[in-house]
Chain A
């Protein structure tokens, strides 16, 4: 499998990135090179091999359902580029 320009356009869209024609060319080459390299894995027999879900043998890590104080709103919004009326402000969301 090799990566096409169309693939790169599609994944750039999914990633919310825009590429110039030149970048598109470059990333297509880069990604193809890396993906071709990664294709070496397809030669390995993985029949009946379970995918690693967690490197540690962990399960059932839970937290108690007890309320703790939330943060001040000023703190929560401190890093927001644009805010209004105690909220983060974004351009109109069109549905």
Chain B
């Protein structure tokens, strides 16, 4: 089999977190009853006209600046014409030849390999409504709440070569948009979603292969799996002497299979033309500079600060700053307990593992910064052992209860009273002469058994340092 190179470009749609829609004053908030965030304008009633939301321009410029794009001084909006039940005007207002931002890039890091992914353009456009399948009647129902929610579309260069790079790019983009607070990036709600354009070509071939497009992927896993699937599929087709058709793939995430939806023979002709109902967007250097100066501390700057200010290893700093929410959780927790490395360990360790298991975001977790700080303080003061702490944390995670309350309720305070521990150690030594003999014969492992017996007796509450110290003292006496 030949070796193949995979060429991937992503088109990412991010719903902007403005209060109102792009061309009217209806709310953009998610989850309302169908067709209750609508007015004559966003439902495309005859005679209505759009007026652009100023925040949309500001947010798109922020995204452009944070991804190293050039901001267009002159930009305009265009109509993209096609019929679909979720598109009330039968045209989507988008940007065609003069988008707001052009020519940027972001850097990704996959297993230590750094790479730059080019960004072709970022443009503003309106979202479409939602189609709901009515299982009872077999009809499709149209909910127009999402119609004209503002979007930016971020188009990458075909610089991505595999699923890991695609996911890293998406993660970086997500983190950037979160830092900017221009998109809430809730992928499961569809506020951040991605179209994958993918083709393969034998290594060494200059021209690109025919590409397929998969629309609206809304999890990292789906992106990853689709790319693996589609890469394999295309290579197999070519290896078997077939040809790739330019078509749209529908990805069934549950089954892990993609289906060809329609061939592009029937290619859409969108008949783009300048939107006559909207004015050009002309941005001054001053406007752009003001936005530039208002950008928040971005991840790579924050990372350097964490290394400097908190003495964290680069690895920790990178992971903690990858998400604005994680970084903010870290900083707040640390401000309460002042133990950066411990906070970092907790967040990067058990906490992240449990979040991943539950598939929730850190801001949706029941564990608050205050609670984690309390837990760490309890360990630092020696009130509880770190082993007990893990147990407490699990409970905090499940119930959201305060660490102190759990400790008190369950009587988990560490036993650090040397007198009491000494008594216990003597009792255990006496009861296990064989282990003592083994130890003296040079079997170091025997000591572990004895410590285990003591911990078992105290339900893990004995201070392990004191247990170790006293045990050795008594045996070696």
Asked if A66 and B141 make an inter-chain contact with CB atoms under 8 angstroms apart, the answer reads: no
B-contacting 9-mer, from A25-33, A35-43, A71-79: A71-79
* In the complex, residue of chain B having the shortest beta-carbon distance to the beta carbon of A68: B25
Interface residues of B in 34-48 (CB under 8 A from A): 34-40, 43
A66 and B20 contact, Cβ closer than 8 Å, known pairs A54-B279, A90-B139, A93-B85: yes
Q: How far does the alpha carbon of A66 sit from the alpha carbon of B19 in the complex, in Å?
A: 7
A86 and B25 contact, Cβ closer than 8 Å, known pairs A53-B76, A95-B261: no
Asked if A67 and B134 make an inter-chain contact with CB atoms under 8 angstroms apart, the answer reads: no
Q: Is A1 an interface residue (CB 8 A)?
A: no
A-contacting 9-mer, from B51-59, B173-181, B190-198: B51-59
Asked if B279 and A58 make an inter-chain contact with CB atoms under 8 angstroms apart, the answer reads: yes
Q: Is B280 an interface residue (CB 8 A)?
A: yes
Q: Is A91 an interface residue (CB 8 A)?
A: yes
A-contacting 9-mer, from B157-165, B235-243, B268-276, B457-465: B268-276
Nearest Cβ on chain A to B23's Cβ, whole angstroms: 8
Q: Is A70 an interface residue (CB 8 A)?
A: yes
Neighbour of B140 across the interface among A14, A77, A93, CB < 8 A = A93
Q: Is A65 an interface residue (CB 8 A)?
A: yes
A91 and B51 contact, Cβ closer than 8 Å, known pairs A67-B19, A70-B37, A71-B39: no
Nearest Cβ on chain B to A90's Cβ, whole angstroms: 5
A87 and B141 contact, Cβ closer than 8 Å, known pairs A62-B52, A66-B25, A95-B261: yes
Interface residues on B, range: 35 or more
Interface residues of B in 251-270 (CB under 8 A from A): 261, 269
* In the complex, residue of chain B having the shortest beta-carbon distance to the beta carbon of A71: B39
Q: How far does the alpha carbon of A46 sit from the alpha carbon of B147 in the complex, in Å?
A: 39
Nearest Cβ on chain A to B137's Cβ, whole angstroms: 7
Q: How far does the alpha carbon of A61 sit from the alpha carbon of B54 in the complex, in Å?
A: 8
Neighbour of B54 across the interface among A63, A84, A85, CB < 8 A = A63
Nearest Cβ on chain B to A16's Cβ, whole angstroms: 6
Q: For residue B132, which residues in chain A have a CB less than 8 angstroms away from its CB? A: 87
A54 and B280 contact, Cβ closer than 8 Å, known pairs A65-B19, A66-B20, A92-B139: yes
| Chain B interface, DSSP helix/strand/loop, else mixed | loop
* In the complex, residue of chain B having the shortest beta-carbon distance to the beta carbon of A14: B269
Asked if B141 and A73 make an inter-chain contact with CB atoms under 8 angstroms apart, the answer reads: no
Nearest Cβ on chain A to B337's Cβ, whole angstroms: 39
Q: Is B472 an interface residue (CB 8 A)?
A: no
Q: How far does the alpha carbon of A59 sit from the alpha carbon of B57 in the complex, in Å?
A: 13
Q: Is B131 an interface residue (CB 8 A)?
A: yes
Asked if B52 and A85 make an inter-chain contact with CB atoms under 8 angstroms apart, the answer reads: no
Asked if A70 and B34 make an inter-chain contact with CB atoms under 8 angstroms apart, the answer reads: no
Q: Is A88 an interface residue (CB 8 A)?
A: yes
Q: For residue B140, which residues in chain A have a CB less than 8 angstroms away from its CB? A: 89-93
Asked if A88 and B280 make an inter-chain contact with CB atoms under 8 angstroms apart, the answer reads: no
Neighbour of A87 across the interface among B18, B83, B142, CB < 8 A = B142
Asked if B281 and A59 make an inter-chain contact with CB atoms under 8 angstroms apart, the answer reads: yes
Q: For residue B40, which residues in chain A have a CB less than 8 angstroms away from its CB? A: 71
Asked if B278 and A92 make an inter-chain contact with CB atoms under 8 angstroms apart, the answer reads: no
Asked if A85 and B53 make an inter-chain contact with CB atoms under 8 angstroms apart, the answer reads: no
Q: Is B26 an interface residue (CB 8 A)?
A: yes
Q: For residue B144, which residues in chain A have a CB less than 8 angstroms away from its CB? A: 76, 88
Interface residues of B in 1-37 (CB under 8 A from A): 18-20, 23, 25-27, 33-37
Nearest Cβ on chain B to A55's Cβ, whole angstroms: 9
Neighbour of B18 across the interface among A53, A65, A92, CB < 8 A = A65
Q: For residue B213, which residues in chain A have a CB less than 8 angstroms away from its CB? A: none
A65 and B142 contact, Cβ closer than 8 Å, known pairs A53-B76, A59-B282, A70-B26: no
Asked if B54 and A62 make an inter-chain contact with CB atoms under 8 angstroms apart, the answer reads: yes
Q: Is A18 an interface residue (CB 8 A)?
A: no
Q: How far does the alpha carbon of A64 sit from the alpha carbon of B18 in the complex, in Å?
A: 10
In the complex, 8 of the A-B residue pairs with CB atoms within 8 angstroms, ordered by the A residue number, are A14-B269, A64-B54, A66-B19, A66-B25, A67-B25, A73-B33, A88-B35, A90-B139
**10 nearest interchain CB pairs?**
A87-B141, A62-B54, A68-B25, A65-B55, A88-B142, A58-B279, A61-B279, A59-B282, A93-B140, A63-B51
